[in-house]
Amino acid sequence: MKNQVEIILISKKRNFLKNFRFPLPVILISVGMLLFLTISAIALSVNSTHRTFVRIRRTKVERENRNLVTKLDSLSMSLKRARMLFDEHVGQDNRERTYWQMAHIHPDIWSMGIGGKQVERSPHIMNKNLERTINEIHESIDVLKGKYYLRQTSLREIQTQIEESEYLWSHMPSIHPVPGRRICSGYGYRVDPIAGDIRMHWGIDIGAPRGTIILATADGVVDFTGWVGGYGWTVVVDHGFGFKTAYAHCQRILVKRRELVKRGQAIARVGSTGRSISPHLHYEVRVSGMKINPYKYINTSSIIFD
């Protein structure tokens, strides 16, 4: 018959033979349904596998997310500790500035960066706490950067101040010109040892044996060497900043004019030249031309009075 499909089942072992006849539409519908069921089963299986994969992936991402939040919290805490530690440097900066007689940096300037720019809100961050932690991290980094650069600038200023102070200090008369020897006559009005009347004494007299070494009391340049009336053989050293020192009644001068001298350098020997009755050094300190009391410019622990 037309439009019929014959299916023959043969078993050689059991001598079995059976044939079935089905109309073609029935066969087609059956094959169609079989295909449909097979494809549906495959689709369901793929979908289930996909959902399992997504669930595993999501679990992994959530775990990673929790770990990241924990690490960000830890990072934020570390940065806060770093900010507190840096405050030690602020204290140190203040101490150094006090020591070198410099104005402190105002606390508001140290705090610059705090409450500064707010990080733009990201639409991808759902967790408010996480967003706040990230903002805190940005803020801590800004503050640390600001304080670090400020400290660097301050250190350069302090270094300049130290160099200037050391230069000024090295050029300021500050040691005893004949160490260990006594001051036998001070600065001020006194009975003149030769004339016997009251006269102003513009320096200090330091008694010492003839030939004792006289030291320059600060760095400078020799401004004058030679004979000066009542002063006898005299050396004048210019220390800059308006300071000059004079060493009179010398027996011998050991330096030349325009020679650079360092503090503690031997520049002459004690004598009794000029208006003098015994070997001694007449020592003067002049500030901007004014003869002032040299006592103020000698380390007091090295002074011995008669």
Using CB under 5 A, list all residues that contact Zn ion. Answer: 205, 282
The answer to whether the CB of 268 falls within 8 A of the CB of 250 is yes
**Of 243 and 247, which has the nearer Cβ to Zn ion?**
247
**Of 205 and 238, which has the nearer Cβ to Zn ion?**
205
Considering the complex, what minimum distance in angstroms separates the CB of residue 102 from Zn ion? 40
Considering the complex, what minimum distance in angstroms separates the CB of residue 154 from Zn ion? 47
Considering the complex, what minimum distance in angstroms separates the CB of residue 91 from Zn ion? 50
Separation in Å, CA 133 to CA 20, 33, 76? 77, 59, 7
Q: DSSP assignment of 18-39, as one string?
A: EEEEEEHHHHHHHHHHHHHHHH
The answer to whether the CB of 257 falls within 8 A of the CB of 290 is no
**Of 204 and 222, which has the nearer Cβ to Zn ion?**
204
Considering the complex, what minimum distance in angstroms separates the CB of residue 195 from Zn ion? 13
User: Residue 143 has which token pair?
Assistant: 């503050």
Considering the complex, what minimum distance in angstroms separates the CB of residue 231 from Zn ion? 9
Considering the complex, what minimum distance in angstroms separates the CB of residue 303 from Zn ion? 16
The answer to whether the CB of 239 falls within 8 A of the CB of 265 is no
**Of 269 and 282, which has the nearer Cβ to Zn ion?**
282
**Of 110 and 187, which has the nearer Cβ to Zn ion?**
187
Which residue has its beta carbon closest to Zn ion? 282
User: Residue 8 has which token pair?
Assistant: 């023959």
**Of 154 and 245, which has the nearer Cβ to Zn ion?**
245
Separation in Å, CA 252 to CA 24, 178, 183, 205, 235? 144, 15, 21, 17, 10
